[in-house]
């Protein structure tokens, strides 16, 4: 996604991490989010693509040291398991691991006070020809 092209109006808040390969963040879905009026009129639900964007922004902000400079290469999987409504706080827990190919995989679990909302698996890779940071 190009810089500035995010569908989110609000900011993802990055929280202190428990370790190098974990991360945490949160996002509060304001009533003023620009994606809500058309999704769905009279019964607004925060779109799944916006949950993926929350995961992406959180992942980019918590890249492990060795992964610095890596960019999103793929959204490997998504599963939407519960609705997210205006006013909800979305808690985002991230776990990182290195893949056998040398890329970095981020597994994000997103939840609200009602329980799980989504799981997203992202893969980050260094641009071709660039070595990973040592």
Please give the share of the chain, as a percent, with pLDDT higher than 90: 82
Residue 133 has pLDDT above 70, yes or no: no
- Per-residue pLDDT band for 91 (boundaries 50, 70, 90) equals very high
Catalytic residue of the set 39, 107, 109, 121 = 39
What mean pLDDT is predicted for residues 112-117? 98
126 is catalytic: no
Residue 87 has pLDDT above 90, yes or no: yes
Instruction: Please state the pTM of the whole predicted model.
Output: 0.91
Cβ atoms of 52 and 92 within 8 Å: the answer is no
Task: For residue 32, give both structure tokens.
Answer: 């003023």
Please give the share of the chain, as a percent, with pLDDT higher than 70: 93
Does 78 sit behind a cis peptide bond, omega within 30 degrees of 0 on the bond before it? Answer: no
The residues near 129 (Cβ < 8 Å, ≥ 6 apart) are: none
């Amino acid at each position: 996604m190009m810089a500035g092209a995010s569908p989110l109006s609000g900011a993802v808040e990055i929280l202190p991490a428990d370790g190098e390969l974990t991360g945490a963040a949160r996002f509060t879905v304001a009533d003023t989010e620009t994606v809500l009026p058309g999704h769905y009129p009279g019964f607004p639900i925060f779109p799944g693509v916006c949950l993926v964007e929350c995961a992406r922004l959180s992942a980019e902000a918590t890249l492990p040291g060795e992964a610095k400079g890596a960019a999103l290469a793929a959204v490997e999987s998504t599963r939407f398991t519960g609705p997210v409504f205006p006013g909800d706080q979305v808690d985002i827990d991230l776990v990182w691991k290195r893949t056998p190919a040398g890329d970095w995989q981020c597994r994000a679990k997103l939840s609200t006070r009602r329980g799980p909302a989504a799981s997203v698996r992202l893969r980050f890779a260094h641009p071709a020809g660039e070595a990973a940071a040592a």
